[in-house]
């Protein structure tokens, strides 16, 4: 029996060569990433006396605040449910230096300070398994998702100086706590180490408008005005990162050919493997061809007993997989009968997910375990 199982495994591995295949995450994982952050500028209209004076003078009433290109870093811990769905908690930090302000047609001359934001998000993501779309061995897994959470947004010593009118606008060390939301689109690429993947992402991150104290000092008449002003906060981020899933299955060992039996020792049985698509019990053209070869061997070798055993991978519940393996075994037995084999010669068994060719973690889809074994004795 050990020799038979080794031969079966070798045959299967040769038929379906293993590469670093992309698979949905199952169980606990951690991830982190860093990259570029673009913070959109804010446009506002001058209001009150300032707006009225600008309109009376025939000058623009628009105020535009802009930011330099910045950076973002984040880390998360999450759980994959094995069906593509993931849930995670994320912590993040974004930072952009202040670029300048255009107000009433005048551009600020001297600028400084930065805006930074940090907080936590709860995300839900979905991995798209490309094998469902006919890609037998995908090298990456795209995913989409979104999240909501909280962000602490702070302007750190932001200052600007309009020299032509000798007035200075200062916003110093003010902050705001706001509701945050984001959309995520990315892809993961297995790196050859079980559970380790490279990730590439785009994120749109936004919040409700944070409000900051603005101190405006007019040096002509030495007046100071203190107001609260809102700021739009919409970010576009591009990140590269790493993700590690803790309980991903180890790759199957390299197949080795079992030592050949002595020439005089006849093989105890002939075995044929019939494979099935994910969550399916219908026969493919290749499956019918293999069953046909088994039926011909029955007639040519004088086989008296045929064992048909159904199996499933661990991507569903044990109860469901038991029923699925039974349906697969019955489909193979029916095809043997259609090819002239008496049902009295055929014994049908179903083992569900209990006897995998390739051991995996619970919830993992493994093509080599979705099979029916035909044994001729």
Please report, for the domain that includes residue 118, its CATH number.
2.40.160.20
Average pLDDT, the chain: 82
Q: Which of 38-47, 102-111, 135-144, 278-287 has the lowest mean pLDDT?
A: 102-111
User: Per-residue pLDDT for 39 more than 60?
Assistant: yes
| Boundary of a domain, candidates 245, 270, 285 | 245
126 shares its domain with 260:
no
Are both 136 and 276 inside the same structural domain? no
Tokens at residue 96, please? 């952009």
DSSP notation for 151-185: EEEEEEEEEEEEGGGTEEEEE-SEEEEEEEEEEEE
Q: What is the pLDDT of residues 339-364, one digit of tens each?
A: 888 888 889 999 999 999 888 888 88
The Cα-based distances of 203 to 239, 245, 341 in angstroms read: 8, 22, 59
Contact call for residues 357 and 260 (beta carbons, < 8 A): no
CATH number for 258: 3.30.1330.60
Compare 51 and 232 and report the one with higher pLDDT.
Answer: 232
Closest to 201 (Cα-Cα) out of 34, 70, 88: 34
Residues 188 and 45 in one domain: yes
Domain total of the chain: 2
Same domain, 234 and 351: no
pLDDT digits (tens, 9 = 90+) for 237-271: 999 999 999 976 555 454 455 566 555 455 467 88
The reply to whether 14 and 32 lie within a common domain is no
Q: Which helix (H) or strand (E) holds 321?
A: helix 318-338
Span 369-374, average pLDDT: 92
Q: Which whole number is the average pLDDT over 150-156?
A: 94
117 with 232, same domain: the answer is yes
pLDDT digits (tens, 9 = 90+) for 263-294: 545 546 788 999 999 989 899 889 999 999 98
pLDDT beyond 90 at 208: yes
Cβ atoms within 10 Å of 335's Cβ, excluding its own: 20
Q: CA 88 to CA 143: how far, in whole Å?
A: 14
Specify whether 239 is located in the same domain as 99: yes
Among residues 211, 226, 245, the one where a domain terminates is 245
The CA distance from 125 to 201, in Å, is 12
Same domain, 187 and 297: no
Q: What tokens does 255 get?
A: 């197949």
Residues 201 and 231 in one domain: yes
Of residues 100 and 310, the one with the higher pLDDT is 310
Q: Is the pTM of this model over 0.75?
A: no
| Contacts with 289 (C-beta within 8 Å, 6 or more apart), sequence order | none
Least-confidence region, from 136-150, 172-186, 261-275: 261-275
With bands split at pLDDT 50, 70 and 90, how would you rate the model's confidence at 1? very low
Residues 239 and 114 grouped into a single domain: yes
Q: Rounded to 5 degrees, what are φ and ψ at 288?
A: -65, -35
Residue that finishes a domain, picked among 222, 245, 268: 245
Instruction: Report the pLDDT value the prediction gives residue 76, as an integer from 0 to 100.
Output: 97
Residue 326 lies in domain = 2-18+253-376
The span from the CA of 58 to the CA of 220, in Å, is: 22
Q: Do 107 and 36 belong to one domain?
A: yes
Of 316, 320, 306, nearest in space to 349 by CA = 306
Tell whether 36 and 171 lie within a shared domain.
Answer: yes
Dihedral sign for Cα atoms in the order 290, 293, 298, 301: negative
Q: Quick check: 128 and 187 in contact, CB under 8 A?
A: no
Two tokens, residue 215: 């101190």
Question: Higher model confidence: residue 1 or residue 153?
Answer: 153
Q: Which residue has the higher pLDDT, 22 or 225?
A: 225
């Amino acid at each position: 029996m050990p020799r038979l199982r080794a031969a079966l495994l070798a045959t299967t591995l040769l038929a379906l060569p293993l590469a670093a295949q992309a698979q949905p995450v199952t169980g606990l994982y951690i991830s982190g990433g860093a990259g570029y952050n673009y913070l959109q500028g804010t446009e506002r209209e001058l209001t009150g006396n300032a707006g009225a004076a600008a309109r009376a003078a025939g000058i623009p009433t628009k105020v535009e605040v802009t930011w330099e290109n910045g950076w973002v870093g984040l880390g998360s811990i999450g759980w994959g449910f094995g069906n593509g769905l993931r849930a995670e908690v994320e912590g993040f930090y974004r930072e952009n230096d202040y670029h300048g302000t255009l107000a009433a047609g005048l551009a600020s001359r001297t600028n400084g300070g930065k805006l930074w934001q940090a907080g936590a998000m709860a995300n839900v993501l979905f991995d798209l398994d490309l094998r469902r779309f006919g890609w037998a061995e995908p090298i990456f897994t795209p995913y989409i998702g979104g999240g909501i959470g909280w962000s602490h947004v702070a302007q750190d010593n932001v200052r600007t100086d309009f020299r032509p009118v000798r007035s200075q606008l200062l916003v110093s060390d003010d902050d705001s706590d706001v509701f945050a939301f984001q959309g995520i689109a990315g892809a993961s690429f297995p790196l050859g180490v079980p559970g380790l993947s490279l990730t590439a992402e785009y994120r749109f991150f936004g919040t409700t408008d944070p409000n900051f104290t603005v101190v405006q000092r007019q040096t002509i008449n030495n007046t100071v005005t203190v107001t609260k002003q809102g700021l739009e906060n919409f970010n576009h981020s591009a990140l590269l990162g790493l993700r590690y899933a803790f309980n991903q299955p180890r790759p199957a060992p390299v197949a080795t050919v079992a030592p050949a039996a002595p020439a005089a020792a006849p093989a105890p049985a002939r075995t044929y493997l019939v494979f099935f698509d994910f969550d399916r019990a219908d026969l493919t053209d290749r499956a019918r061809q293999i069953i046909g070869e088994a039926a011909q061997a029955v007639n040519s070798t004088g086989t008296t007993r045929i064992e048909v055993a159904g199996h499933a991978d661990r991507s569903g519940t044990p109860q469901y997989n038991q029923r699925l393996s039974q349906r697969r075994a019955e489909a193979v037995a029916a095809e043997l009968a259609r090819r002239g084999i008496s049902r009295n010669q055929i014994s049908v068994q179903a083992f569900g997910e209990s006897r995998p060719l390739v051991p995996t973690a619970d919830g993992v889809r493994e093509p080599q375990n979705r099979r029916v074994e035909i044994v001729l004795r």
